[in-house]
Amino acid sequence: MGTDTKLDLKDRYTDFFYENLEHLKNGLPEYINDKREAAIQSFQEKGFPHKKVEKYKYTDMNPAFEKQYRTYIQPKKIDFNLDDIFKCDVPELDTHVVLLLNGWFYENKTPQKQLPNGVIISSFREAANKYPDLIDAHYNGYADTENESLTALNTAFAQDGVFLYVPKGKVMDKPVQIINLLMDEEDGLSQHRNLFVMEESSEAQVIVCDHTLSGNNFLTNSVTEVFVGQNAHLHFNRVQNEHNGSTQISNIYLNQERDSNVSANTITLHGGLVRNNFFMRLNGENCENQTLGLYLADRSQHVDNYVHMDHAYPNSRSNQLFKGVLDDISTGAFNGRILVRQDAQKTEAYQSNNNILLTNDAKMNSKPQLEIYADDVSCSHGGTSGQLNEDAMFYLRSRGLPHKEAQLLLMYAFAHEVIGEIKIEPLKERIHELVEKRLRGELSRCNYCEMHCGEPGKN
């Protein structure tokens, strides 16, 4: 990355793009590469989102991109086996594990590419060459590179990520677990690109875990496109647990066909600045979408969730539920947009955002947006930000529970509404445990990681 600070910030990234264009294209097919230049131009027109951009009113992305990073335009060479230093420690969680190291697919010792039923889990890069027709039919078909400059930037730079394919009528035997690991001796920027294609009547469960394994400042700007075919079922879970010196931007573009069912739970435990974008398009009748989030922030963390729920056809149902506990001087934002297009009669779309602010300095900005063009719909939104329920506190204390215990029990119960929706039992139990520890202030991200690298953002 160039170091000339006199250049406009976006020029720095655009220049870097053109300097490395041939390298970026290297090893990837034409149908991926021919989207790059249009994408960088779109990015160049808009630049990085800042607070004057409505969708980013509470989160300026510029400072994160102003820092100098190594950009991972090639995989990092490591001279040890990742499996030796990182093990997922969720007991009894039986999954197909794939690792991304700094955004690049990491070949495990035990590759699990041979899956029954014709299911494919592989490197996006490899799949792009191997299954061009399959990928070309979906790649960049849902991501919005025209309006979303960060998605455009990702599209310009995308080189690797995870590709998941579940053929028609197939049900995956166990969940796919994608572990995003960030590890380096210097600060780094990762822009991986995932694509999940679920054909008609297929079923899959996906778990995404985000971890940092070294104390450097990392910036991630990832894009995941998901196609959920007719009558397909997807249960998506994400656990964000990067250290507080990191910035994570996650852009998910999900397209649902008729009769499909999607539930997505995003649990944010740690991370300095987290911005999650969920673009959910219900592109057929009788779709069901449940998009849930739980964020626990303290110190100077900032967590911003943006949801765009697009009802394009009649008779679909969506529910957004985001809950947060904010401590110290942490800040949060929630912007949930429900768009009901003219044809989408009999839509049911609900949204709620509830927050507990533990200090007077913690802040939450919650903004619902309902844009409804159909006349026969049932939509609602609601939000609360406040302290714990005084009556419940008194009830618990009047039975002998100390103030702090009562408080924890209520926070835990508050969080439960989201955690309870996780359908993978061992994961649910583990999240319960992590959330409880987190609320007790006992969970530093490091205490179950073997690296003990320290958390720069925490001091």
Partner 1 sequence: MLEIKNLHSVIEGNEILKGIDLKVNKGEIHAIMGPNGSGKSTLASVLAGKDIFEITEGEIIYEGKNLMEMDPEERAKEGIFLGFQYPVEIPGVSMINFLKTALNEQRKHKGLEPIKSSDFLKMVREKKDLVQIDSNLTNRSVNEGFSGGEKKRNEIFQMAMLNPRLSILDETDSGLDIDALRVVAHGVNTLRSDDNATIIITHYQRLLNYIIPDRVHVLYDGKIVKSGDKNLAIELEEKGYEWLAQEVAAK
Specify the residue, 178 or 388, whose C-beta has the smaller distance to partner 1: 388
Residue 410 φ then ψ, to 5° = -70, -40
Q: Tell the burial category of 110 from Cβ atoms under 10 Å away from its Cβ (0-12, 13-18, 19+).
A: exposed
Specify the residue, 288 or 417, whose C-beta has the smaller distance to partner 1: 417
Q: Helices 9-19 and 149-157 sit at what angle, rounded to 10 degrees? A: 20
Specify the residue, 376 or 390, whose C-beta has the smaller distance to partner 1: 390
| Residue 164 · residue 125 · CB < 8 Å | no
The nearest distance, CB 322 to partner 1, in angstroms, is: 16
Taking the C-alpha atoms of 23, 28, 29 and 33 in order, what is their torsion angle to the nearest 10 degrees?
A: -50
E strand map for 283-316: 288-297, 302-311
The nearest distance, CB 438 to partner 1, in angstroms, is: 16
Q: Which two tokens stand for residue 99?
A: 């690792």
The nearest distance, CB 218 to partner 1, in angstroms, is: 34
Neighbours of 34 (CB within 10 A): 10
Q: Which two tokens stand for residue 191?
A: 């822009």
Specify the residue, 206 or 296, whose C-beta has the smaller distance to partner 1: 296
The nearest distance, CB 420 to partner 1, in angstroms, is: 8
The enclosing H or E element of 320 equals strand 317-326
Rounded Cα distance between 313 and 348, Å, is 11
Specify the residue, 109 or 399, whose C-beta has the smaller distance to partner 1: 399
Rounded Cα distance between 304 and 454, Å, is 25
Rounded Cα distance between 167 and 120, Å, is 9
Phi-psi region of 135 (alpha: psi -120 to 50; beta: other; left: phi over 0): alpha
The nearest distance, CB 31 to partner 1, in angstroms, is: 49
Specify the residue, 163 or 414, whose C-beta has the smaller distance to partner 1: 414
CA angle (262 as vertex; 260, 266 as ends), nearest 5: 170
The nearest distance, CB 392 to partner 1, in angstroms, is: 5
Q: From 225, 230, 233, 234, select the one nearest 254 (Cα to Cα).
A: 225
With b for 16 or more beta-carbon neighbours within 10 A and e for fewer, the 135-158 pattern comes to beebbbebbbbeebbbbbbbbbbb
E strand map for 107-202: 120-123, 162-166, 176-182, 188-190, 193-198
The nearest distance, CB 208 to partner 1, in angstroms, is: 25
The nearest distance, CB 294 to partner 1, in angstroms, is: 12
Specify the residue, 346 or 432, whose C-beta has the smaller distance to partner 1: 432
Specify the residue, 164 or 406, whose C-beta has the smaller distance to partner 1: 406
Q: From 185, 292, 195, 297, select the one nearest 237 (Cα to Cα).
A: 292
Specify the residue, 234 or 406, whose C-beta has the smaller distance to partner 1: 406
Specify the residue, 86 or 414, whose C-beta has the smaller distance to partner 1: 414
The nearest distance, CB 414 to partner 1, in angstroms, is: 7
Placement of tokens 């009802």 in the chain: 311
Residues that bind partner 1 (CB under 8 A): 389-392, 394-403, 405-406, 409-410, 412-417, 420
With b for 16 or more beta-carbon neighbours within 10 A and e for fewer, the 341-376 pattern comes to beebebbbbbbbbbbbbbeeebbbebbbebebebee
> DSSP code of 95?
-
Specify the residue, 78 or 392, whose C-beta has the smaller distance to partner 1: 392
Specify the residue, 26 or 389, whose C-beta has the smaller distance to partner 1: 389
The nearest distance, CB 389 to partner 1, in angstroms, is: 8
